[in-house]
Structure 1
């Protein structure tokens, strides 16, 4: 069988066309005799010229595989007319051939849905330029880049609403942790901070830029994408670790100034040591998590995956990030409350000398109390992290919600069926049409005649 992956590069002779069609005439071989006879007797005739490419041979063999009269090919002397004739019958013929594959699709539905996907290059023509190294949308269908097909403003609005719905449970849980004895000013400041984070999240999720899927796996060894991702992870880990450590240290030193009842370990020297230990621990923990779950800059990090690999990786990375940050925060708060009585006891020992034995402390109770409060704060942080990190999956879900009138809800099942039927094919992390000419014809013929 001829190689259809190089359809535009390999010319076909009449002898090759005869051999190919003869091998495909398993059912009712007498139907093909006029065509085969013409190819044998007129190797330089009009039929040989119109069937001079593997793509047209594939079209002809598919269209007449189950039904029809192949002698109709003798009528067409122009390759363009033959292409239009065969392409108009290609999808119904492929559907008939692969009717054994379970899929409740009609030829009209298949044509309409594939035409929608084929129009993606035109729909994406005025999009924001993608990062350097990104796959061009003119030849390949990348799932997380299809969202402009359903309307840019609609998808971005739904995406922002989904991000807000994901964030609200964590925000409500965080606000519920405010002690009842807290002042009204503290509650208002907390509410204002939550609203500011929500607005920033909505603005970010409604951005025009296509969200890049996260990836926990490393790209292939020795590739440029691997070196870039390694450098990006180092920079992100150092930045997040330093920022977190400074924020924790400053907070622990400033809280006793604003509220003398919260000394975190007695005098300033003990509080300083206490703040230094916790800031270093928090910085290292959050920096490590940020480095391991950093988002790559382009699709090169997803090399060698199937088309659903980037979205699966984004969902997995989001879940892992949320769990890692939540557990880290819980342990840090448990450590904070566990170290506080220890610092107070040591301070008392230095101040009182031999009389320090009359003071007792119970770090276990501090750890237990910290774990209880830390679990609640960690869960709230987990909701926030996952609302931020699964941007590509969330945008894809918003795209499906907005494209119900143009594409099937179970888009993955339809794409898999199309590949099995020979209408599409996969190449790494992308879908491609079986041939560029099929894509062009579907783009200019959105409905069946």
Structure 2
């Protein structure tokens, strides 16, 4: 192929790409008005909230009607309380509507039902809200950093969680037509963090300035009692808010709840219900005094087993152990996919390994991210693989210099520079941690986040590095391969190889526009898999080009791709080594297992991390190695 023909081909491809970019940039959907956006959000909250409500109750629609009391603040500004509060789960919306201003903080002990109350509040308010009232939206606070403006964070979650277009989300947030129901203030910091310097304190300071005109804007917040007491003592609580404290479950409430949940097998449940009635201060009644324990009991004996087995327990700890011993098996049996995919023994052993990875005792963590498990692999193992790959890349550069000693000009310069870079990276690799490189998270295939990311990238592509990067990449690859393949087969391989890299580069460019937290706990893992595929494609193309053209530049390019690729993939490499070292207890597709555990009610997600359903469950797994 003549030089002029190659130049024409490159120009034509660049023109086509430029035309596509311009058309994509000019394309816009008509923006919806405020009323339509609010109506869309209300429908989305209802449709998403219903299955979440079912999951939070262990597969049943009946929730315990927990009671609460408004806790007055002494000597500080607080919201005006209802004249005669109902103090019940079923009427929490009525109490909230009488607050002035409508700011409420829900507090309670671990397992008291704060999240359940928040979800019930959202579902009830959606049913009765008027057209001029804001839409309640439940959002986990774990992924918010006070450095990000609260309005922007709220807009991001409306896009990700409820699929609103960016313009619509901004419009209704600016109009204060969103009521933020913020769950898990106590989960923003590690256990034992000082209140004064905590992320929770920074969040409260930022929320204190959230206003509607000249008035405090409505919001709802949940937090454990002890953590919020510490924040209050440090002067970081929200002013002009009412504090709602959840009360322990009474024996009568526990009996009513278990009678409803055990309606399929009333004869089996009757001895336990009679025992609670006859001994309201006994061990069993005290053990079942929180919504978490009651839901645990309902799930454990939902379809099989005898609840009267709990009557023989002599302590609250023993009651909890007996319930938790059945929790995994019952959850697997109740899960539609659990029977065919995992056995209860597999689930127990896998969850225990993950619980141990978080530590034990009071210093144990609660946030689990798959990629961070690589930190448990001995540094020598990861370092050996990295240094070994670096040595192989260095040998490629040395072989180029020795075999083609007459090479001069750019090729020799690139080879020498590549050798120097590889040696330097190899010497410093041992001091690097596996989390040195953080990539934007990648959504699941089919997620609406792809649409959001691609739209954002296409809108700003002419002004961003991404568009120039793709054009330069295409020009470089086309020119390199057309120079190395002077025949038709070479042209086909060049176009296919360039197209492969472009297809892989588009998602990488697009996800740069998506917040890492929005892609969920497995988003970071998928990002490194995408990057690995990109480097793998580069290795294959360099090998193919060298085999066809015997060009030393292709061989030294292969060394560069190997050295840079293995260094940037260190986190994924450590994670894979962790799975291989624990292959007897951990599935290779660990992220899929964790997602299944969330759907089965054994775990939950909070922002960009997985967490066990309850801290008590996590600690029980550490103590019990076998099912």
The answer as to 2:299 corresponding to 1:62 is yes
Equivalent residue, structure 2, for 1:138 = 365
Work out the CA distance in 1 between the residues paired with 2:398 and 2:434. Answer: 30
Q: Secondary structure at the match of 2:518?
A: coil
CA distance in 2, matches of 1:110, 1:210: 27
What residue is the counterpart of 1:89 in the other structure? 326
Q: Counterpart of 1:340?
A: none
CA contact (8 A) 1:62 1:94 kept: yes
Question: How large is the RMSD of aligned CA atoms in angstroms?
Answer: 4.6
Deviations 1:125-155 (A, max 9, x none): 9xxxxxxxxxx97111111211244x424xx
Number of equivalenced pairs: 315
Indicate the residue corresponding to 2:350 in structure 1.
Answer: 113
Residue 396 of structure 2 is aligned with which of 166, 172, 179? 172
Tell me the TM-score normalised to structure 1 length.
0.57
- Inter-partner Cα distance in structure 2 for 1:79 and 1:204: 53
CA positional deviation for 1:179: 6.7
1:445 CA displacement: 1.9
- Residues 55-84 of structure 1: CA deviation (Å, up to 9, x unaligned): 221221122112111122233352112112
Alpha-carbon spacing, 1:95–1:217, altered in 2? closer, same or farther (3 Å): closer
1: distance between equivalents of 2:581 and 2:429?
16
Deviation at 1:89, TM superposition (A): 2.4
1:96-122 deviation line (CA, Å, top 9, x unaligned): 322643544332322222111111133
> CA contact under 8 A between 2:400 and 2:415: conserved in structure 1?
no
Q: Which has the higher contact order (CA 8 A, sep 6+)?
A: 1
Other structure's SS at 1:146 match: helix
Greater shift after overlay, 311-320 or 399-408? Answer: 311-320
Residue range with higher mean Cα deviation, 10-19 or 438-447: 10-19
Cα deviation 1:353-379 (Å, max 9, x = unaligned): xxxxxxxxxxxxxxxx9xx87666555
Q: State the shift of 1:420 in Å.
A: 2.2
- Asked if residue 182 in structure 1 is aligned to residue 406 in structure 2, the reply is yes
- 1:115–1:101 CA distance, 2 compared to 1 (3 A): closer
SS of 1:446 mapped into structure 2: coil
Query: Relative to total residues, which structure has the larger helix share, 1 or 2?
Result: 1
- Displacement of 1:435 after TM fit? 0.7
Please, which runs of 5 or more residues in structure 1 have no aligned partner?
126-135, 219-236, 238-288, 328-368
For the 8 Å contact 1:50–1:77, the answer to whether it is kept is no
Larger deviation, residues 307-316 vs 202-211? 202-211
Alpha-carbon separation, structure 2, partners of 1:206 and 1:303: 29
CA distance in 1, matches of 2:253, 2:285: 10
Q: Which has the larger radius of gyration?
A: 1
Residue 527 of structure 2 corresponds to residue 313 of structure 1:
yes
Q: TM-score, normalised by structure 2?
A: 0.42
**Structure 1 position 51, deviation (Å):** 0.5
CA distance in 2, matches of 1:100, 1:301: 31
After TM superposition, list the pairs within 5 Å mapping 1:247-262 onto structure 2: none
SS at match of 1:425: strand
Match of 1:425 in 2: 604
Output aligned runs, 1:401-440, within 5 Å.
401-440=580-619
- Structure 1 residue 429: deviation in Å? 1.6
The aligned residue for residue 489 of structure 2 is none
Q: CA deviation at 1:52?
A: 0.5
